[in-house]
Amino acid sequence: MSLTGIAASGPRPRRKSGLLQWLKPRSSAMRTTLVIGIVVLASQVLSIAFFWQNLYLPEIRQHAHTSALKLALLRDAELSGTPVAGEIDEDLLRFGNMIVVRDPSQFPKPRDKWFAEIFTDHFQKQLRRELDHRPQVYFEFKPVPTLWISAPTETPIWVREELSFIQQYSPGIIIGWVLGVPLLAIIAIVILARQLNRPLKRLQLAAIRVGRGLHSTQLEEYSGPTEIRAVNRAFNQMTRQIHQAERERTVMLAGISHDLRTPLTRLRLTAEMMSDRELAEGMVTDIEDMDAILDQFIAFMRDGSEEKREPVDLNLLAQEVAQQFEHQLDVRFSAGALPLLSLRKLSLKRLIGNMLQNALRYGAGPVEMWTDISGPHACLHCRDHGPGIDPGRIGELMQPFRRGDQARSSQGSGLGLAIVARIVQQHHGQLVLDNHPQGGLHITVRLPLPRTRQNA
């Protein structure tokens, strides 16, 4: 028979797969930062596109148009011979701020400059449209920002124009606008997201505390945004109702224990005084079964979540419980090397007792118990030599009031393994049921080791 196991915590929902799900940030703060960061980046891109299309590009075209008129004068002067070279050069310098360079040794040596070419390419296209000639355009940053243009003449000539006002642009302001504004926006977004998510973190921690049985946990109702205060009020109302239900359950358990045990005690006394011993023994057995079932009901409802944790030697605890069954069951215990564990001692005693009681009722001796360490867990094993269980019904046995087929004809409430599963879950452990290869039910309880031992 193949081994089958199941964890007490139950199946977890599958996480959605896919590239987008993998790339999506897990936290709300990061998602908010990402979305608003994309919006800020898009606004910066649109702002740059707006200024480029409506301010810089028209200015480049206008400057190219003015330069084309000056270059046309230089071309016409070469073709007509008037004015002479010296005069036209002087006129362009005086009225057009253009220096004519006729000496090839002073010509520029153009190099690729991707940033400058963003502007010079549009400048060149406008000159080509107006001069019917494709001049070379080159921009020099140092020592003085200078625009070089090859003239549309037969003789190689370059003209240069010093753009001294470009030096008045502040690089700090440009960098601050391009990088500083998004950076400041992202910092503001992160601060805002943290402010918004801090109440959610407090709510998460409070929910964890309530899940651990601290039902008196309350959140602040009179500070923070309106929506957060509304959520906190709803949470506090929920915890008050849970706390009230817990108190009522405690009162009800006390009432059940008193009101039902009293008539059971009278019935037992009556049965023991009967003259028919065979009938009396049958009645006493039935009363004891009813009393045991009542104990299991009360143990299931009293989940032990309010019990404090303490350092516990699991080996000593298992030996102590095993000795209590030595007159009813052959229990063979083997202790492994375990550190002290932070456990709810009474709950763990109830867990071990329920496992042995399950073996006593539905299994067969001898019962083997042993402890060991497996990865980050301290393990407690319990194996009987009974018929085992149907692997397809293992999950059902974790649920209250569910019993195996071989247990249906015997007395019991069907709560034993459900109580074990609940106690294991409260200790953030795992409960695994399987059939041993050599026969019998094999129960494994895995409890987390202390963090210092896990990191060792």
- The answer to whether residue 105 sits within a structural domain is yes
Residue 17 confidence class, pLDDT cut points 50, 70, 90: low
- The answer to whether residue 16 sits within a structural domain is no
* pTM of structure: 0.46
HSE of 415 in the Cβ direction (CA atoms, 13 Å)? 16
pLDDT at 155: 87
User: Which of 169, 194, 210 corresponds to the end of one domain?
Assistant: 169
| Helix pair angle (416-426, 277-301), 10° resolution | 30
CATH code of residue 46: 3.30.450.300
| Helix pair angle (345-362, 314-324), 10° resolution | 40
pLDDT at 240 over 70: yes
- The answer to whether residue 422 sits within a structural domain is yes
Supply the DSSP string of 75-133, one letter for each residue. HHHHHH--S-HHHHHHHHHHHH--EEE--GGGS------HHHHHHHHHHHHHHHHHHSS
pLDDT at 223 over 80: no
Q: What tens digit of pLDDT does each residue of 265-322 get?
A: 777 777 777 777 777 777 777 777 676 666 666 655 565 566 778 898 989 988 988 8
User: Which of 265, 283, 302 corresponds to the end of one domain?
Assistant: 302
| Same domain, residue pair 449 and 342 | yes
pLDDT at 145: 85
Contact of 194 with 29, CB cutoff 8 Å: yes
pLDDT at 381: 92
Structural domain for 84, as ranges: 28-169
| Helix pair angle (85-96, 57-80), 10° resolution | 160
Q: What tens digit of pLDDT does each residue of 334-389 get?
A: 888 888 988 888 888 888 888 888 888 888 878 899 999 988 899 999 998 888 77
**302/412 Cα distance (integer angstroms):** 18
Q: ω into residue 83 within 30 of 0, thus cis?
A: yes
**331/354 Cα distance (integer angstroms):** 14
| Same domain, residue pair 294 and 251 | yes
Average pLDDT score over the chain: 78
Report the percentage of the chain scoring pLDDT > 90: 5
Residue 11 confidence class, pLDDT cut points 50, 70, 90: very low
pLDDT at 439 over 70: yes
Q: What is the mean pLDDT of residues 172-180?
A: 77
Residue 6 confidence class, pLDDT cut points 50, 70, 90: very low
Q: What tens digit of pLDDT does each residue of 146-163 get?
A: 899 998 888 899 999 988
HSE of 68 in the Cβ direction (CA atoms, 13 Å)? 19
- The answer to whether residue 256 sits within a structural domain is yes
CATH code of residue 356: 3.30.565.10
